[in-house]
Structure 1
Amino acid sequence: RLLSSPIHKIYVLLGYLVAYFLLGWIQLGVLLTVLSVFFHVYLGNVIHILVFGSFVIGLVVSLGFMIATLSHTKKQSEVFSAIVIVGSCMLGGIYWPLDIVPDIMKKVSLAIPQTWMMSGFGEIMSGTVNQSILLLDITVLAAFTIVFMVIGLKNIRSY
């Protein structure tokens, strides 16, 4: 259908990106609602959550896009996703706090997007937001997003 369609591939790509971005917001919205309503977790300033959450979702969508364009089969993308996501979550402080890891691992974690995501959400949920820390977290997430998107765009195949 794409070959016979008069639409340019950039519009198809933008459609997918917008759809997955909205889907990500639905998922994050449900998660935050459950945390707030059922577990009484203090989420901090809603505006900060909306802005920072948008950068996190943009990062996740661009990472998925990059993995999809680097993979040749669906099975390969599933395996690649599992390895990249689980490995980076371990290194980025999702599974355990970075306070308990050796100093070398703390330095390695600076090259992992999840480290910056956890830092930003932690800053927002602390109740006392340091704007410079949050801005640094957003800037790093935006840089990762751009890098992943550029890699994905360079590897996209025309069918």
Structure 2
Amino acid sequence: IMFMMFAISSSLSSIHMEYKNYTWQRLLSSPIHKIYVLLGYLMAYFLLGWIQLGVLLTILSIFFNVYLGNLFLILLFGSFVIGLVVSLGFMIATLSQTKKQAEIFSAIVIVGSCMLGGIYWPLDIVPYIMKKISLTIPQTWMMSGFGEIMSGNVNLSILLLDATVLIAFTVIFMIIGLKSIRSY
């Protein structure tokens, strides 16, 4: 999850190169509506995320013989995770002023939230207050959902809660990103 977040966030910071090279301005001044330009970018990064997750799941399954659980649920939940990562990267890219600033901000946000969200170590070993804080971190819900699917005994109510929280984070990040986008 963390490496996918880094790859997509750094890729999305390429929007700053589009600003610098005036490609962004030309795209937005064309007769194509701004939403289609944005959708094109977001779909490309969504596809990039799926390529990364697909390679990872394939390697885990073939080389390490990891049980992935229900493939349909993995694909569906993986799409929610990738959507969230793309919207987070988009928000960071639009809130920052330069590509370097976006990369540094991404690193701080991703590493910090992965620590708090249970990516580096299980949340079972952290103090009670950290468990409560982790509920505000998307990675907590990502790990919970993937863990639920890979357990082989899926509790759909838990999985639905995990997916709903990821969708809420995705919408919030996307709204912030859309409000912060510059067209200059």
- TM-score interval, normalised by the smaller of the two chains: over 0.9
Letter in 2 for 1:104: I
Distance apart, 1:23 and its partner CA: 1.1
| Corresponding pairs, count | 159
What CA distance in whole angstroms lies between the structure 1 residues aligned with 2:108 and 2:143?
20
Letter in 2 for 1:138: A
Output one character per residue of 1:12-45: Cα deviation in whole Å (capped at 9) or x when no partner: 1000011111111111000000000000000000
| TM-score relative to the length of structure 2 | 0.85
What CA distance in whole angstroms lies between the structure 2 residues aligned with 1:9 and 1:111?
32
- Residue 18 (structure 1) aligned to one of 32, 43, 55: 43
What CA distance in whole angstroms lies between the structure 2 residues aligned with 1:89 and 1:21?
20
**Cα 1:100–1:6, aligned 2, differ >3 Å: closer, same or farther?**
same
What CA distance in whole angstroms lies between the structure 2 residues aligned with 1:9 and 1:85?
28
1:130 matched residue in structure 2? 155
Letter in 1 for 2:52: Q
**Aligned residues: CA RMSD:** 0.8
What CA distance in whole angstroms lies between the structure 1 residues aligned with 2:31 and 2:99?
26
| TM-score relative to the length of structure 1 | 0.98
What CA distance in whole angstroms lies between the structure 1 residues aligned with 2:174 and 2:75?
22
What CA distance in whole angstroms lies between the structure 1 residues aligned with 2:114 and 2:170?
17
- Residue 103 (structure 1) aligned to one of 128, 132, 137: 128
What CA distance in whole angstroms lies between the structure 2 residues aligned with 1:10 and 1:44?
36
Letter in 2 for 1:44: G
Q: Aligned with 1:2: secondary structure?
A: helix
Q: Structure 2 unaligned runs (5+)?
A: 1-25
What CA distance in whole angstroms lies between the structure 1 residues aligned with 2:48 and 2:119?
22
2:89 matched residue in structure 1? 64
Aligned identity (percent) is 86
What CA distance in whole angstroms lies between the structure 2 residues aligned with 1:156 and 1:131?
37
- Residue 106 (structure 2) aligned to one of 81, 93, 100: 81
